[in-house]
């Protein structure tokens, strides 16, 4: 579904990606793991067009999406949930969800999708008129997940969804991400929590200083000696 | 609720000339009203996209000069015997042209500076205002330079059943300014609640996220700059046709500062903020004049400003509106409390 080859990205003088190649098959949950600064987030940002790539090629469903810009990538069906602050704090829950559908023009269908998300997350429905900044951390995360689905993506990329959340909410977040995959939407997940990511994924890539150093099934990577020592603390 | 309140406020302002007969105070209200329109346009940029245009008076001044020159006509030598000659048009055409040309300048400044934004935008706008002021001062054939453009005609409007009406008196100009202010307020309110307005607010609140949902940052900011500059140009045109004499002093930096004070004290990012701040800081000097020595007036002005910003740092309207039951409730940071109940729901 998504095929990227030899992507090179740099921030000024610093080369963040030194030729990344990976592929994501339709219906899979693919995880990118690695240490801080390995290039996981940059890979997602390169795919969604937020940072330009210096060389390499990205294909999505047979179409070249290299350098087409964030809007085109989004309308092709790739949604990106960036790391850091997850919501627009001064907008209401409903407005936040509508922002996820910013580029869509089918207003009535957007309303249907919004109601579907309220159905999945009753807490959001109760708080639909409330400013998103007043929600708890867990509720903000549910809102961010819901918003990512509002563009009706075929591939959704999550960047560090567990960051800064209480353990029980992290667990629930992962359960939702699995459910998103099970409902047929392909997922590309960047996660610090390597063990959890490897456990739930269908395929994983290990990044080290801007390169893919290892790839394989989740169980395969968990069993790998290098991964165990460097990332799983075993 | 908010709509009713807006209409009541509008009705109140419309009633002012019925009980306020002092021409001096009416004059102060008219010029204040013109500056409030300018402050509203600045608030669109500062309050809803976070971009501070410290050269905002340039758009106002350009509007004033364009409108004045269009209605006065000019004969400007360009090269050798080649002249550009313009015969006078009706002032209302000048008003329209002022809006268009100021908007165009907003586009140019936005296009140039929004690639870098923040402090750079502030610097570009200050420089732009200074360059325009120098042009107005030195292009004597067109602008008369420091000799000023004089005898600018009053605005004439065509009314159904009444024929043509030239707005010469203070009373007429008061209602003209009030009408333009109401239209500007309505336009800005529609804009910030539209699809585009949400993009503007999203950009200010969380830019990374805004880009990731597909908002084109430069486009959204440039569009805002165009509308903001066009409204400032409309205010400038009103000013030119009301005062009927303009010189390069209309580009004075202090006028931009006055607008910033109006916006920030009233509450940037709230629609009514520039109106409230504008009424206070537009009329304060006028009210202080009869009761104090000139030095004391400015000290008092400064003290009132400091007091407002000290007590209500977000501005008057955002601080008071929720207490009166208007608008958005403020965002209160809420601690995450995982009780047994919520834990069950999260699990």
Say which residues have a Cβ less than 8 Å from residue A126's Cβ, sequence separation at least 6. Answer: none
Instruction: Answer yes or no: is pLDDT of B263 > 90.
Output: yes
- Domain tally, chain A: 1
Least confident of A72-81, B227-236, B335-344: B335-344
Interchain contact, A71 vs B347, CB within 8 Å: no
The residue segments making up the domain with residue A226 are 2-87+153-231
ipTM: 0.85
Report, as an integer, the average pLDDT of B70-78.
89
The model's pLDDT over B159-204, given as tens digits with 9 standing for 90+, comes to 777 778 888 888 999 999 999 999 999 999 999 888 888 899 898 8
**B50-84 as b/e, with b when 16 or more CB fall inside 10 Å?**
bbbbbbbbbbbbbbbbbbbbbbbebeeeeeeeeee
B208 confidence band (pLDDT: 50, 70, 90):
confident
Say which residues have a Cβ less than 8 Å from residue A79's Cβ, sequence separation at least 6. Answer: A100, A148, A149, A151, A153, A155, A156, A157, B212
Say which residues have a Cβ less than 8 Å from residue A41's Cβ, sequence separation at least 6. Answer: A83, A159, A160, A190
Report, as an integer, the average pLDDT of A141-168.
91
Interchain contact, A138 vs B343, CB within 8 Å: no
What pLDDT, on a 0 to 100 scale, did the predictor assign at position A107?
A: 85
CATH code at position A28: 3.40.50.300
Nearest C-alpha in B relative to A86: B209
The residue segments making up the domain with residue B184 are 22-252
User: Among partner residues B213, B329, B337, which is closest to A100 by beta-carbon distance?
Assistant: B213
Residues of chain A contacting residue B194, judged by C-beta atoms under 8 Å apart: none
Residues of chain A contacting residue B198, judged by C-beta atoms under 8 Å apart: 91, 95, 98-99, 102
Interchain contact, B212 vs A87, CB within 8 Å: no
Interface contacts (A, B; CB < 8 Å): 90
CA distance to partner chain A, nearest, from residue B318 (Å): 13
Residues of B at the A interface, defined by Cβ within 8 angstroms: 195, 198-199, 201-202, 205-206, 208-216, 328-329, 331-334, 336-338, 342-343, 345-347
Instruction: Report the alpha-carbon distance of residue B173 to residue B176 in Å, rounded.
Output: 5
The model's pLDDT over A178-233, given as tens digits with 9 standing for 90+, comes to 999 999 999 999 998 888 999 999 999 999 988 898 898 888 888 888 888 888 87
Interchain contact, A87 vs B209, CB within 8 Å: yes
Residue B319 in tokens:
């601080």
Query: Over pLDDT 90: what percentage of chain B?
Result: 56
Instruction: Answer yes or no: is pLDDT of B346 > 50.
Output: no
Calculate the average pLDDT of chain A. 90
What pLDDT, on a 0 to 100 scale, did the predictor assign at position B68?
A: 95
Interchain contact, A136 vs B347, CB within 8 Å: no
- Domain tally, chain B: 1
Reported pTM = 0.85
Interchain contact, A85 vs B345, CB within 8 Å: no
A154 confidence band (pLDDT: 50, 70, 90):
very high
Nearest C-alpha in A relative to B343: A168
Instruction: Report the alpha-carbon distance of residue A2 to residue B315 in Å, rounded.
Output: 49
Instruction: Answer yes or no: is pLDDT of B54 > 80.
Output: yes
In a domain, B285, yes or no: no
Interchain contact, B202 vs A99, CB within 8 Å: yes
Instruction: Report the alpha-carbon distance of residue A203 to residue A211 in Å, rounded.
Output: 17
Instruction: Answer yes or no: is pLDDT of B342 > 70.
Output: no
What pLDDT, on a 0 to 100 scale, did the predictor assign at position B161?
A: 78
What pLDDT, on a 0 to 100 scale, did the predictor assign at position A234?
A: 64
Report, as an integer, the average pLDDT of B328-343.
46
What pLDDT, on a 0 to 100 scale, did the predictor assign at position B347?
A: 42
In a domain, A33, yes or no: yes
Nearest C-alpha in B relative to A73: B214
In a domain, B284, yes or no: no
What pLDDT, on a 0 to 100 scale, did the predictor assign at position B186?
A: 94
Nearest C-alpha in A relative to B48: A90
Report, as an integer, the average pLDDT of B234-251.
95
**Distance spanning both ends of chain B, measured CA to CA:** 40
Report, as an integer, the average pLDDT of B308-326.
85
What pLDDT, on a 0 to 100 scale, did the predictor assign at position B333?
A: 47
Q: Can you give the three-state secondary structure of chain B, one letter per residue?
A: CHHHHHHHHHHHHHHHHHHCCCHHHHHHHHHHHHHHHHHHHHHHHHHHCCCCCCCHHHHHHHHHHHHHHHHHCEEEEEECCEEEEECCCCHHHHHHHHHHHHHHHHHHHHHHHCCCCCHHHHHHHHHHHHHHHHHHHHCHHHHCHHHCECCCCCCEEEECCCEEEECCCHHHHHHHHHHHHHHHHHHHHHHHCCHHHHHHHHHHHCHHHHHHCCCCHHHHHHHHHHHHHHHHHHHHHHHHHHHCCECHHHHCHHHHHHHHHHHHHHCCCCCCHHHHHHHHHHHHHHHHCCCCCHHHHHHHHHHHHHHHHHHCCCCHHHHHHHHHCCCCCCCCCCCCCCCHHHHHHHC
C-alpha dihedral sign at A122, A125, A127, A130: positive
What pLDDT, on a 0 to 100 scale, did the predictor assign at position B328?
A: 53
Say which residues have a Cβ less than 8 Å from residue B314's Cβ, sequence separation at least 6. Answer: B267
Report, as an integer, the average pLDDT of A141-147.
92
The model's pLDDT over B33-48, given as tens digits with 9 standing for 90+, comes to 999 999 999 999 999 9
In a domain, A164, yes or no: yes
Interchain contact, B334 vs A89, CB within 8 Å: no
The model's pLDDT over A2-44, given as tens digits with 9 standing for 90+, comes to 999 999 998 888 888 888 999 999 999 999 998 888 889 999 9
In a domain, A40, yes or no: yes
In a domain, B148, yes or no: yes
In a domain, B186, yes or no: yes
The model's pLDDT over A81-128, given as tens digits with 9 standing for 90+, comes to 988 888 999 899 999 999 999 988 888 889 999 999 999 898 999 998
Interchain contact, B338 vs A95, CB within 8 Å: no
Query: Residue B267 region, left (φ>0) first, then alpha (ψ -120 to 50), else beta?
Result: left
In a domain, B333, yes or no: no
Residue A223 in tokens:
């069993």
User: Among partner residues A70, A91, A168, which is closest to B211 by beta-carbon distance?
Assistant: A70
Interchain contact, A82 vs B198, CB within 8 Å: no
Interchain contact, B214 vs A168, CB within 8 Å: no
B1 confidence band (pLDDT: 50, 70, 90):
low
Query: Over pLDDT 90: what percentage of chain A?
Result: 50
User: Among partner residues A84, A103, A134, which is closest to B208 by beta-carbon distance?
Assistant: A84
Report, as an integer, the average pLDDT of A30-59.
90
- Cα A187 to Cα A21, B60, B120, distances in angstroms: 17, 51, 39
Secondary structure class of A6 (helix, strand, coil) = strand
Interchain contact, B334 vs A74, CB within 8 Å: no
In a domain, A102, yes or no: no
User: Among partner residues B198, B214, B331, which is closest to A131 by beta-carbon distance?
Assistant: B331
In a domain, A50, yes or no: yes
User: Among partner residues B331, B338, B343, which is closest to A90 by beta-carbon distance?
Assistant: B331
Residues of chain A contacting residue B199, judged by C-beta atoms under 8 Å apart: 102
In a domain, B185, yes or no: yes
More confident position, B157 or A153? A153
Instruction: Report the alpha-carbon distance of residue A104 to residue A83 in Å, rounded.
Output: 23
Instruction: Answer yes or no: is pLDDT of B119 > 90.
Output: no
In a domain, B56, yes or no: yes
Residues of chain B contacting residue A90, judged by C-beta atoms under 8 Å apart: 201, 205, 328, 331
């Amino acid at each position: 579904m998504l095929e990227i080859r030899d992507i090179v990205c740099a921030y000024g003088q610093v080369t963040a990606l030194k030729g990344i190649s990976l592929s994501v098959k339709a219906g899979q949950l693919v995880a990118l793991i690695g240490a801080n600064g390995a290039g996981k987030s940059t890979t997602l940002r390169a795919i969604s067009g937020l940072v330009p790539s210096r060389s390499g090629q990205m294909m999505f469903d047979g179409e070249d999406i290299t350098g087409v810009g964030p809007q085109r990538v989004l309308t092709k069906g790739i949604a990106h949930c960036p790391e850091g602050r997850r919501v627009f704090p001064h907008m209401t829950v409903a407005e936040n969800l509508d922002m996820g559908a910013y580029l869509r023009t089918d207003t009535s269908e957007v309303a249907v999708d919004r109601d579907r998300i309220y159905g999945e997350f009753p807490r959001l429905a109760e708080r639909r008129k409330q400013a998103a900044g007043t929600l708890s951390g867990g509720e903000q995360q549910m809102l961010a997940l819901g918003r990512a689905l509002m563009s009706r993506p075929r591939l959704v990329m999550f960047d560090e969804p567990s960051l800064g959340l209480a353990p029980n909410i992290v667990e629930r977040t992962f359960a939702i991400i699995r459910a998103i995959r099970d409902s047929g939407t392909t997922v590309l997940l960047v996660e610090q929590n390597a063990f959890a990511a490897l456990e739930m994924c269908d395929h994983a890539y290990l990044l080290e200083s801007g390169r893919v150093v290892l790839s394989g099934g989740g169980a395969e990577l968990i069993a790998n000696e290098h991964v165990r020592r460097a990332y799983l603390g075993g | 609720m908010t709509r009713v309140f807006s209409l009541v406020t509008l009705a109140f302002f419309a009633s002012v000339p019925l009980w306020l007969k002092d021409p001096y105070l009416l004059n102060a209200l008219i010029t204040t009203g013109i500056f409030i329109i300018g402050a509203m346009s600045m608030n669109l940029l500062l309050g809803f996209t976070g971009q501070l245009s410290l050269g905002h008076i340039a758009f106002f001044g350009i509007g004033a000069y364009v409108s004045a020159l269009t209605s006065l006509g000019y004969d400007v030598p360009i090269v050798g015997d080649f002249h550009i000659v313009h015969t006078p048009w009706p002032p209302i055409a000048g008003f329209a042209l002022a809006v268009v040309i100021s908007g165009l300048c907003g586009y140019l400044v936005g296009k140039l500076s929004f690639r870098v934004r923040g402090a750079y935008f502030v610097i570009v706008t200050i420089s732009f205002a200074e360059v325009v002021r120098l042009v107005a001062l030195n292009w004597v054939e067109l602008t008369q330079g420091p000799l000023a453009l004089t005898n600018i005609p009053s605005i004439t409007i065509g009314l159904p059943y009444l024929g043509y009406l030239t707005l010469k008196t203070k009373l007429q100009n008061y209602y003209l300014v009030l009408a333009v202010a109401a239209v500007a307020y309505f336009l800005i309110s529609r804009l910030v609640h539209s699809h585009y307005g949400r993009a503007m607010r999203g950009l200010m609140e969380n830019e990374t996220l805004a880009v990731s949902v597909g908002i084109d940052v430069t486009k959204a900011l440039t569009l805002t700059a165009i509308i903001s500059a066009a409204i400032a140009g409309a205010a400038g045109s009103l000013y030119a046709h009301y005062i009927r004499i303009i010189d390069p002093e209309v580009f004075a930096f202090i006028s931009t500062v006055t607008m910033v004070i109006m916006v920030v004290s009233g509450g940037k990012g709230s629609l009514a903020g520039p109106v409230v701040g504008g009424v206070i800081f537009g009329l304060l000097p006028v009210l202080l004049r009869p009761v104090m020595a000139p030095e004391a007036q400015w000290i008092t002005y400064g003290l009132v400003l400091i007091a407002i910003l000290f007590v209500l740092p977000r501005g008057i309207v955002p601080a008071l509106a929720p207490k009166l039951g208007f608008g958005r409730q403020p965002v209160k940071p809420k601690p995450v409390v995982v009780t047994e109940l919520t834990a069950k729901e999260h699990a």
